[in-house]
Amino acid sequence: MTQAEKNIALITGASTGIGAVYADRLARRGFDLILVARDRPRLDALAERLRGEAGVDVEVIAADLTAEGDLQRIEERLAAGDVTMLVNNAGMSLNGGILDNDTPQLSRIIALNVTAPTRLASAAGKAFVAAGRGAIVNMSVLALAPEMFDGVYSGTKAFILNLSQSMATQLRDKGVRVQAVLPGATRTEIWARSGKDVDAFPAGFVMEAGDMVDAALLGFDRGETVTIPPLSDEQQWLTLQEARLAMGPNLSKSDVAPRYRDALLTA
């Protein structure tokens, strides 16, 4: 996307943390903004600051993306056709793990971390393909680390990584960019909301939100489909990708693999 064209970014979870930093950075790149979150006062304060500091137009939509009516409103806003970037940032973590939470909590995290970003990516993707340009940025924290923390949270983010890579392949020839951002632990309010003390982590473990977003935007500028801001050795990611893709031709066969068939025949 060139700055000669009008750009509008819709950012979910925009009132604090990563979403608020994306709003700041994109405003300074000349994007007009649509800020989406539940906390209207915080959204209004951020919008007022960015209008004054960056001189951009800012639209505020207070919405709970786990509520069907609110989610439909954001889908409809994306379908209007003027948005050029979706930052799918809204998310939550659990207080405890899968055995510590009941159906309402499990349903809510899936609604916010999986259903909402999937539906918004679909709505945005359709509008972007029709326009011939657009970008979708998805947050996929801990997608590669299922053994760390809670598997429900990392599982929702692994879904987002899968979705992002699939959409990137399907849409790259249609003028639409898709980027998955895989931060590590980042200093935001999500920790306190899920009953965790972010300051209890070892020194050097938690990244500041501003640093994370700046790295993610540089990755976007470089055309990366997957950006991992804390990862120093990019070859580790490339090796993982190569190994995964090498398995592709062997993941669906009419015959059972010899390592199972031979064992069954001798059983």
Q: What is the pLDDT of residues 126-170, one digit of tens each?
A: 999 999 999 999 999 889 999 887 899 999 999 999 999 999 999
SS (H, E, C) the chain: CCCCCCCEEEEECCCCHHHHHHHHHHHHCCCEEEEEECCHHHHHHHHHHHHHHHCCCEEEEECCCCCHHHHHHHHHHHHCCCCCEEEECCCCCCCCCCCCCCHHHHHHHHHHHHHHHHHHHHHHHHHHHHHCCEEEEEECCCCCCCCCCCHHHHHHHHHHHHHHHHHHHHHHHHCEEEEEECCCCEECCHHHHCCCCHHHCCCCCCEEHHHHHHHHHHHHHCCCCEECCCCCCHHHHHHHHHHHHHHHHHCCCCCCCHHHHHHHHHC
> In which band, very low, low, confident or very high, does the pLDDT at 194 lie, cut at 50, 70 and 90?
low
How confident is the model at residue 187, as a pLDDT? 74
Instruction: Give pLDDT tens digits for 7-66.
Output: 999 999 999 999 999 999 999 999 999 999 999 999 999 999 999 999 999 999 999 999
pLDDT at 3 over 60: no
User: What percent of the chain has a predicted confidence (pLDDT) above 90?
Assistant: 81
User: How much is the mean pLDDT over the chain?
Assistant: 93
Q: Which of 6, 153, 196, 253 is catalytic?
A: 153
- Please state the separation of Cα 89 from the chain's center in Å: 5
pLDDT at 191 over 70: no
Instruction: Give pLDDT tens digits for 240-252.
Output: 999 999 999 999 9
| 196 included as an active-site residue | no
How confident is the model at residue 202, as a pLDDT? 78
pLDDT at 99 over 90: yes
Q: What average pLDDT score do residues 226-232 get?
A: 96
State the pTM of this model: 0.92
pLDDT at 236 over 50: yes
| 153 included as an active-site residue | yes
Q: Which of 126, 157, 196, 253 is catalytic?
A: 157
> In which band, very low, low, confident or very high, does the pLDDT at 201 lie, cut at 50, 70 and 90?
confident
How confident is the model at residue 251, as a pLDDT? 95
> In which band, very low, low, confident or very high, does the pLDDT at 185 lie, cut at 50, 70 and 90?
confident
Compute CA distances 223 → 11, 50, 132, 168, 179, whole Å.
20, 27, 17, 11, 8
User: What percent of the chain has a predicted confidence (pLDDT) above 70?
Assistant: 97
Domains for the chain: give ranges and CATH numbers.
8-265 (3.40.50.720)
